[in-house]
Amino acid sequence: MNADAAVAQQGSVRPAWRDPLAWAKAADVVAVLIALFLPWSTSLAGIFIAIWLIAVAPTIAPRAFLASLKQPICLLPVALFALAVAGTLWSDAPWGARTYAILPTTKLLVLPLLFYRYQRSPRVMWVFTAFLVSCSLLMVMSWIVAFHPAWTMKATLETQERGIFVKNYIDQSQEFALCAVALAFPVITQLRAGKKWPALLLTALALSFVVNMAFVIVSRTALVTMPIMLAVFAALHLKWRSIAIIACAGIVLAALAWTGSPQLRQTIGSFAGQYHLYREQNAATSMGMRLEFWRKSLRFFAEAPVIGHGTGSTRGLFEQAAIGQTGASAEIIGNPHNQTLNVAVQWGAAGIVVLYAMWLVHLLMFRGEGLIACVGLLVVVQNIFTSLFNSHLFDFHEGWMYVLGVGIAGGTLLGQGLRDAAPAGFAR
- pLDDT tens digits for 269-311? 565 666 556 566 565 566 667 778 888 889 999 999 999 999 9
Distance CA 405, CA 65 (A): 20
> Residue 49 belongs to what H/E stretch?
helix 42-56
8 A C-beta contact, residue 111 and residue 359: no
399 neighbors 107 (Cβ within 8 angstroms): yes
User: What are the C-alpha distances in Å from 401 to residues 6, 33, 117?
Assistant: 31, 14, 17
| Burial annotation 111-128 (CB, 10 A radius, 16+ → b, else e) | bbbbbbbbbbbebbebbb
Any alpha helices (H) in 216-321, and if so which ranges? 220-237, 240-260, 262-281, 286-303, 314-321
Domain boundaries, the chain: 3-269+336-421
Whether the Cβ atoms of residue 73 and residue 411 lie closer than 8 Å to each other: no
User: Tens of pLDDT along the chain (428 residues)?
Assistant: 455 554 444 444 555 556 778 888 899 999 999 999 999 989 999 999 999 999 999 988 889 899 989 999 999 999 999 999 999 999 898 999 999 999 999 999 999 999 999 998 888 899 999 999 999 999 999 888 888 777 777 766 555 567 788 877 888 888 999 999 999 888 888 888 888 898 899 999 999 998 888 778 777 777 778 888 888 877 776 667 666 766 676 676 666 655 655 665 566 656 566 655 656 656 556 666 777 888 888 999 999 999 999 999 988 888 888 777 766 666 777 888 899 999 999 999 999 999 999 999 999 999 888 889 999 999 999 999 998 888 889 999 999 999 999 999 999 998 886 555 555 443 33
Please say whether the beta carbons of 173 and 219 come within 8 A. Answer: yes
> What would the pLDDT profile of 25-63 be if each residue is shown by its tens digit?
899 999 999 999 999 989 999 999 999 999 999 988 889
Residue 54 one-letter amino acid: I
